[in-house]
Structure 1
Amino acid sequence: MGSDVKNINISSEPINGEPVIMVSICCVTYNHEAYIKEALDGFLSQKVEFNYEVLINDDASTDKTPEILKAYEQKYPDIFKVIYQRENQYSKYKSGMNPRFNYPRAKGKYFAICDGDDYWTDPLKLQRQVSFLERNPQFAACSHKTQQVSDGNFEDDHRFGNIYNGSDVLTTEDLILNKVRIHSSSLLFRKEFLIEPEWLYKIKGLDIILRLLLSLKGPVKVLQESMSAYRLHVDGVSNSFNHQNYGKFLNMCTLYTNFNEYTKYKYAEPIKEAIKKEAKIHIVDYEINKFKEQFIKNKEYEYKYKYIDDLNYLDGITSFNAVLKLLFLKLKRKFSTKSND
């Protein structure tokens, strides 16, 4: 192993006959028969000086995913522990699969996350991250670069984990402002630092709020090795809803509003900036592109462009209700103007 993973005293001696689990790998899968083997083999490829377990929640897959999981579970019964759901839980809850089904049964000091359609690309991933957190107890979590894969081909640049003009140590404010994009497949965090407010399970974008809550306990380190792959495909959860629309924007407002209230408005200013950015991505750009396609030759385009390009109205956002009110007023203005033409 490299110099970055040596000289760390990690005990894996059994306690009362039970093996000490250092890392619980939490995986959620649904109809991933084309991808799941790569994820499972990535877990097994890890070269570590400690014990780990792989906790998998199969969300009532209708393809051959359960058959593949059972084969691995039978071959490696001490590593793989699978829940085979009879009814799809994501359709019921819409989020929170790991916190509901994997976290409660985890025995590890650290949690690692990797969905069934993503995978790890470096056999030293876990050892590097555990070694860093063992040496640096003030850190809540550790991540790294992640490559995006589309149609089996790696993207040239790393969309996740790139450090541009900032630091590889991220604070809560850095994460709110999304200064470095972190993919869930790269995250390793301390179980003892896991915070689960009552509203946590009601939020989509659980990966985002998880990182924010962890950062309240300590900073997040971003290693510059690329050690995981995020697979972009039409059946992926991240592609199951449009990333540029009002629904996505309102969901992000809900996320930030809950976090803002939870932290007693300590991060109100960066949250305001984050909401503006989300509005630009999910409303302004979405509406402009959609309108250009449909009404590029229509005079209404000139008015609508003005309407959606003006972000000044977002300066007063302090709550989710304020967002709804402002959007309603804007839509009302749009339709009333159209009817008067």
Structure 2
Amino acid sequence: MNYDEFASSGLSRPRNRQLRTEAQIMQDWGGAEEIAVSIVLVSFNQESYIEDALAGVLSQKTSFPFEIILHDDASTDGTREILEKYALEYPEIIIPVLRTVNIFSKGGAPFWEGMKNARGKYVAICEGDDFWIDDGKLAKQYRFMEDNSGAAFCCHNASVHYVGTGEVKDFNTKLSSGYYSTRDLVLRKWFIPTASLFFRREIANRRIPAWYGQVRSQDLALEIVLSLEGDLWYQNEKSSVYRKNAIGSLSAKKEVPWAHLHLRIDLFKKLRGEFPYMKRYLIWIDILITNLKIAYSRILTNMNNNG
């Protein structure tokens, strides 16, 4: 189901769905107990959106057990209370990790802290202001990874919903289904919606660097690290919705024009230091850093000229 089909169904928001009970969800697992997929749902002050994210993950239809790890980074609105309510309704599926101190502001990585509680062979991500619209998303990605042992992770397309205007666009408009590489992640524009990520937990546990929480683009850092260990498969299906300019999100923050470029330079410098033995990746990273610095310099020059 894509966003147009989802919207035309009359369920303009996932929270409007009639959710199954915990017993009904677990009935499809056929008595299996070992967790196959851990869903890490991270949130901070997303009271207006969090129930859509929860409904999207709870609507998943699978023949295997999954768990939902709710990591809230000390929200000060009503997000925490909503999470507590769902945790009570789904005690066997939901693991609440509710912080009293905000770790992101102290250089921590909320997603990584949440993932420390994961037990599944695979991990799927959803942020609190995004949501899934395909109830077969987990099943499809799980089957692909099981059938393709060389894949480190897979992802898919998404619809972009612009908060405020209601406009909807495709996240990717010219990207075909297929395998992509570290080189694509470094040199292409961002093409992986965070809520589409599905990866092998063992690789992340083994390869996530110590500085992971220090970088702003933590999703891209994770993707690059995973891609160094195996294949990346992109499926051109819009199975989730990315909210652009959601209240409290990074996309809604008004930053100076060069801030994003500067943060990318910092990320790629750290990657270069982490993987010095991979010369072919270093070449691509050096090329990108050079290009980012040129763009950064041009922006500063234009600002000075327009003084």
**Aligned positions of 1:89-238 closer than 5 A:** 89-93=103-107, 95-99=108-112, 101-151=113-163, 153-156=166-169, 158-160=170-172, 162-163=174-175, 168-178=178-188, 181-194=191-204, 195-232=207-244, 233-238=246-251
Alignment of 1:232-247 (within 5 A): 232=244, 233-240=246-253, 242=255, 244-245=257-258, 247=259
Q: Which residue does the alignment assign to 2:102?
A: 88
Normalised TM-score (structure 1)? 0.74
What letter is aligned with 2:239?
M
Work out the number of aligned pairs and report it: 275
Q: Secondary structure at the match of 1:198?
A: coil
Higher relative contact order (CA 8 A, sep 6+): 2
State the shift of 1:277 in Å: 4.3
CA gap 1:122/1:210 in 2 versus in 1, 3 angstroms: same
Instruction: List runs of 5+ in structure 1 lacking aligned partners.
Output: 1-10, 305-341
| 1:114 counterpart SS class | strand
Task: Report the AA paired with residue 178 of structure 2.
Answer: D
1:30 aligns with 2:44: yes
* Distance (whole Å) between structure 2 residues aligned to residue 207 and residue 230 of structure 1: 14
Distance across 2 between alignment mates of 1:272 and 1:261: 11
Rg: which structure is higher? Answer: 1
What is the Cα deviation at residue 244 of structure 1?
A: 2.7
Q: Could you say if the C-alpha distance between residues 150 and 179 of structure 1 is closer, same or farther in structure 2, counting changes exceeding 3 Å? A: closer
Distance 2:254 2:287 in 1: 24
Query: TM-score, normalised on structure 2?
Result: 0.81
1:319 alignment counterpart:
none
Contact kept? 1:174, 1:180, Cα under 8 Å:
no
What is residue 309 of structure 1 aligned with on the other side?
none
Q: CA deviation at 1:278?
A: 3.3
CA contact (8 A) 2:171 2:193 kept: no
Query: Root-mean-square deviation (CA), in Å?
Result: 2.6
Does the CA-based 8 Å contact 2:161-2:167 persist in structure 1? yes
Counterpart of 1:189, as a letter, is F
Report the CA distance shift for 1:168/1:179 in structure 2 as closer, same or farther (over 3 A). farther
Counterpart Cα distance in 1 of 2:161 and 2:48: 14
Q: CA deviation at 1:243?
A: 6.8
CA contact (8 A) 2:46 2:248 kept: no
% identity of equivalent residues: 32
Kindly tell me: are residues 60 and 253 of structure 1, through their superposed partners in 2, closer, same or farther at Cα, counting changes over 3 Å? Answer: same
